[in-house]
Structure 1
């Protein structure tokens, strides 16, 4: 059932990204974020009333509503960064936006084992789930109120020349997605992103069953700790690579570095779990968690490959295909886990990540957005020299 809720949360993304893009093009980002915040609150509210063994499908329905809401949210950071920030701040701003989802995942790893404990009495488990869902419901309601009160559509003036040019162009949702899907470098990036983030989502879903095979006592707590470590180092990696992207503009080179780290991290985690040494498991989680900065590097690389197409559309396709593969991978790795062992399940992940690394190396290095911003950067440098003089 846990895997079912995970799959339900992952699969709706791809078929709904085109309607979500149409909504944001026609109604704007404020309306879209209000719609997403409302959906999250409604989904959370339904789950509050589902904390009973006979109401599992009500909770599944609430999870489905939340999964639809997150279609509008996860692709928003690159769009917001392009609207609100200038050329030297875009990647870091996008990083901070993406980190919000990572911090949410980290909070779930940290607090879920604390709030929901393993009891012999099902009613006590239901009470714990009710408390967890109530906390989430209060949080989503607070976010909805804050969005209504404080979020603005856009700044009075575009922060960069590239954004000014984009704001003067008319957008067509279907044509935009067609342009993305016939862009060879972006298609290769899309497959690499699907493998990397799809496996990341699967690992988040399968940490419990993997570690419980080796640590029957306090295995849930260990899985929570490993998840928190992955998120903490993922946040650190995102900040570091976000700054490096802004400073160096080496999008492909940094993509390759992060992807190689994901292969090394997953390989280390595989053998650390097999050794049943908790210290090794924590160390490997640090390395693999650091590689989750590919969320930022991949999204920013996608924008560079596809400019002047909408950042929401490019990142939406990346997240859409990765969430779809995440759902498929979760089912596949669960099957391998149940029929063979966690070692072979993890090794299949390593093989897939190696394929993704090859795809990343073979992706043509194109920086269309940076080319559009170059006159802006030259003018900015000249102005800075004049001010110093």
Structure 2
């Protein structure tokens, strides 16, 4: 049940043990993420159907997705505290339990007068939405090589893409050409029961098989952090220029990615005839989301082999501007093929940026807990979307789809400007190269002394 690899560090042979269980843990975490993010976009992709069925506005339906932003903002402290107190294993049990409980409540919300219950059910996976973001880097550092942490994050994003893409299949595969509300109720019920069964299965498997840590650390960086027992206060993050810039960029990428997917239904129905709109929403949504699979695989390999994160980030920012420009022009001339090609390329780019930004934040803030730093990043990243999605929705109604998309180009340009100010400070990478030496301990203590003369708990 285990695999060993020998690594030479500072002239001395050190053997690190890697357990096959880590692949099962990564799969279960990925399935949890997939079911969680399917629910994120479950109703936004069929907002016109849900709006008509429940007799509410499309803006109200969009709040089934935007409530995830609220959850990321409001529940950052409880989830960070939960991970700190209970660890990876128990936190994953809590997250999968919330995920499954939400699906159970939504099973009771199929009646037309129960939109309120539907929204209540959506709160449970939404309020636990930070778990799928914060747990992958912890799994990576606890069980995998340091250079494979980006791969673990990328794999989780890929499962995220599959879950979200499944939601975008629904307009054409399940909800197209339904004749009456009885058929809509039957379709909603079938989808709800299917996701509930999967979510409960993941919860049970998590309880049975997920473990906290292997018996030995998997890398020099993790070994050094354990041996030196240095815990910088979170307040030190706000004096870390790289962290601040990276979190702002991460927030803008999150808002942009949400806007592309959440308002896609509205953009397409505004620009194209209803007879073909559902097909376009499904194909474009699938291309945007499934682009995450090759994108995250490629960026994971780049992160493992090439440590110039700043150059990679800037390159992706430039590509995003180019692809979004042509995507916007595709809506302007109502060219279906152009929309398909460049929503795929745009998704390919900004999905890769999520992975590199996540790993970059971990590198820049080492040895602070990965869960804490990414939780803060995800919490802050939920705020811009609360303003951008309603703004995009209003602009589409007032000026049309292409004009509304110019907002995304402005955001992409701002990402590029901010990325120019980031320095390529890879602290964890340096530790793995140099080993757990006294100089590393001194460096960490010097960082600590800049903010506090005493060591303080991770979260007070």
Provide the TM-score with structure 2 as the length reference. 0.78
1:385 aligned partner = none
Is the helix fraction higher in 1 or 2? 1
Out of 282, 295, 316, the residue aligned to residue 258 of structure 1 is: 316
Contact kept, 8 Å, 2:292 with 2:348, in 1: the verdict is yes
1:138 aligned partner = 197
1:330 aligned partner = 389
**1:190 to 2:247 alignment:** yes
Summarize the Cα distance change of 1:297–1:247 in structure 2 as closer, same or farther, 3 Å threshold.
Answer: same
Out of 42, 61, 78, the residue aligned to residue 19 of structure 1 is: 78
Out of 329, 333, 357, the residue aligned to residue 298 of structure 1 is: 357
**C-alpha deviation, 1:75, in angstroms:** 1.9
**C-alpha deviation, 1:120, in angstroms:** 4.6
**C-alpha deviation, 1:155, in angstroms:** 1.0
Contact kept, 8 Å, 2:105 with 2:118, in 1: the verdict is yes
Out of 254, 257, 261, the residue aligned to residue 204 of structure 1 is: 261
CA distance in 1 between counterparts of 2:92 and 2:171 reads 26
Task: Report which stretch shifted further, 140-149 or 81-90.
Answer: 81-90
CA distance in 2 between counterparts of 1:6 and 1:76 reads 21
1:89 aligned partner = 148
CA distance in 2 between counterparts of 1:245 and 1:48 reads 42
1:285 aligned partner = 343
Structure 2 residue matching 1:89: 3-state secondary structure: helix
2:160 aligned partner = 101
Instruction: Show the 5 A alignment for 1:1-389.
Output: 1-111=60-170, 113-168=172-227, 176-215=233-272, 216-291=274-349, 292-376=351-435
Summarize the Cα distance change of 1:181–1:217 in structure 2 as closer, same or farther, 3 Å threshold.
Answer: farther
Number of residues of Structure 1 aligned to a counterpart in Structure 2 = 376
The Cα offsets for residues 95-149 of structure 1, whole Å up to 9 and x where unpaired, read as: 1122221221112112454223353522321221111111111110111111111
Task: Report which stretch shifted further, 123-132 or 352-361.
Answer: 123-132
Contact kept, 8 Å, 1:25 with 1:171, in 2: the verdict is no
Q: Which has the larger radius of gyration?
A: 2
CA distance in 2 between counterparts of 1:167 and 1:227 reads 43
**C-alpha deviation, 1:257, in angstroms:** 1.5
Contact kept, 8 Å, 1:117 with 1:125, in 2: the verdict is no
CA distance in 1 between counterparts of 2:106 and 2:233 reads 36
Summarize the Cα distance change of 1:372–1:345 in structure 2 as closer, same or farther, 3 Å threshold.
Answer: same
Contact kept, 8 Å, 1:117 with 1:128, in 2: the verdict is no
Structure 2 residue matching 1:364: 3-state secondary structure: coil
Structure 2 residue matching 1:54: 3-state secondary structure: coil
CA distance in 1 between counterparts of 2:389 and 2:227 reads 43
**C-alpha deviation, 1:193, in angstroms:** 1.1
Structure 2 residue matching 1:70: 3-state secondary structure: coil
RMSD: 1.9
Q: Structure 1 residue runs of 4+, over 4 Å off?
A: 168-172
1:384 aligned partner = none
The Cα offsets for residues 283-306 of structure 1, whole Å up to 9 and x where unpaired, read as: 111210111111101100111111
Provide the TM-score with structure 1 as the length reference. 0.92
